[in-house]
Structure 1
Amino acid sequence: MDAIVLSPRLHDALSLVKGFRNGVVYGTKIRFPHALVMTLLFRTGSPQEKLVAILKATKAHARGLAFFVTAYKSAMLLQRHMSPSGKNTDLHAFVAGCVGGYFVFGEKTSVNQQIILYLFSRIAMGLANTAIKAGNVKTPSNSFAVFAALCWGAVMVLFRRDKSVLQDSLQGSMTYLYEDSNHWTSLKTLLWHNK
């Protein structure tokens, strides 16, 4: 199929529309199944309340990604047009990302927090891989095992010392796994029910 030839300005405008659309679609694809499973497994309430929670989380994720893509692409276009070279740089990407991140994901909600924590972990891995590729860090053969060990060691110390510094869902999971498993009153609460 032949590509449609458009003026650069029309192409830029339509890329914003497509970016917004892709943000909605991707956010929905990612959040809906996650919200469905987590709500069915862990949330209490009527079926209607559960459905509302699923749709609310899905809408928040889809809306956030759609608006971030639009803000980021708009800031990149603006900076490109203001640049003497007419091209974007890494600095432009950083500024556009910061602007979008602040205004779109700056409010601390459960959905935003999950997205930011997801990004943070991927950034840490990306920075480590960048240092390795540049030859600044030698890669031990068991590098992932060392990384896993340091992550689990750190989180267990934080949980033991002051679990309130951890994200709510992580606190809940760790309390269930490591503290609730120390208490039972009968065979039923030992093997079948938590409490």
Structure 2
Amino acid sequence: MDAAVLNPQLHDVLSLVKGFRNGVVYGAKIRFPHALVMTLLFRTGSPQDKLVAILRATRDHARGLAFFVTAYKSVMLLQRRLAPSGKNSDLHAFIAGCVGGYFVFGEKTSVNQQIILYLFSRIAMGAANTAIKAGNISAPPNSFAIFAALCWGAVMVLFRRDKSVLQDSLQSSMTYLYEDSNHWTSLKTLLWHNK
């Protein structure tokens, strides 16, 4: 079915359906391998507990993206219909994103927190690239290396001072890497097992 030949109202409804579908598929494709690896590497419990954790994280990510896409596209459609020009603007995108973000990703869960932190880091990089592209600032030589240095320096200070302020998975990873590596009781716990 060619989308170009549909009447506009039907096209809008079907774009919501496809957006929901794409959110489910993309969320599952992204989260399942991540949850599988992280669960197998770091989670304790029975195989059944691990499977439930993997499937729950996959479901939460897929559902979140599906509902966000649907909410965002719905608010955009509503605003387009109410706009005198009949077109969407950047302000419309911001409002629709805020509405979807608040209602879909507003609850602080581990999956939502990872998604929001991922977005925040991409926004910071995008804002810097936008300013450079517009000519508002010049990229210093080795700008990515400087950015990497500042990120790692800041996180190491936060971890050293009070690791409880960091996100749980980052806190856990850093404890494993930087604190657990200071302790062993035998050759086995030095080289093979952490504890």
Shorter-chain TM-score tier = over 0.9
Identity percentage of aligned residues: 89
Aligned CA distance change for structure 1 residues 2 and 64 (closer, same or farther; 3 Å): closer
Matched, 1:108 2:81: no
- What are the within-5 Å matches in structure 2 for residues 1-195 of structure 1? 5-195=5-195
Secondary structure, counterpart of 1:138 in structure 2: coil
Of 147-156 and 41-50, more deviation after overlay is shown by 41-50
Q: Deviations over 1:146-174 (max 9, x none)?
A: 00000000000111111110001111111
Q: CA 1:56/1:94 → structure 2, altered by over 3 Å: closer, same or farther?
A: same
Q: Distance in 1 between matches of 2:147 and 2:154?
A: 11
Displacement of 1:2: 5.8
Give the letter aligned to residue 145 of structure 1: A
Q: Report the alpha carbon displacement of residue 3 of structure 1 after superposing the two structures with TM.
A: 5.3
- Distance of 1:13 and 1:5 partners within structure 2: 14
How far apart are the structure 2 equivalents of 1:44 and 1:104? Answer: 29
- Structure 1 pair 67–36 and aligned structure 2 pair: CA distance change class (3 A): same
Q: Which runs of 5+ in 2 are unaligned?
A: none
Q: After superposition, what is the alpha-carbon deviation per residue over 1:57-95, rounded to whole angstroms, capped at 9, x for unaligned? A: 110000000000000000000000111111000000000
Q: List 4+ stretches of structure 1 deviating above 6 A.
A: none
Letter of the structure 1 residue corresponding to residue 84 of structure 2:
P
* Residue segments in structure 1 that go unaligned for 5+ positions in a row: none
Secondary structure of the residue that 1:124 maps to in structure 2?
helix
Q: What is the aligned length?
A: 195
Normalised TM-score (structure 1): 0.97
Matched residues in 2 for 1:181 and 1:53: separation?
A: 27
Aligned-pair Cα RMSD in Å = 1.2
**Aligned counterparts of 1:4 and 1:128: Cα–Cα separation in 2:** 37
CA-CA distance at 1:4 after TM superposition: 5.1
TM-score when normalising by structure 2: 0.97
CA distance in 1, matches of 2:107, 2:3: 40
* Cα distance between partner residues in 2 of 1:192 and 1:161: 29
8 A contact 2:68–2:100 mirrored in 1: yes
Give distance in 2, aligned partners of 1:40 and 1:188.
Answer: 21
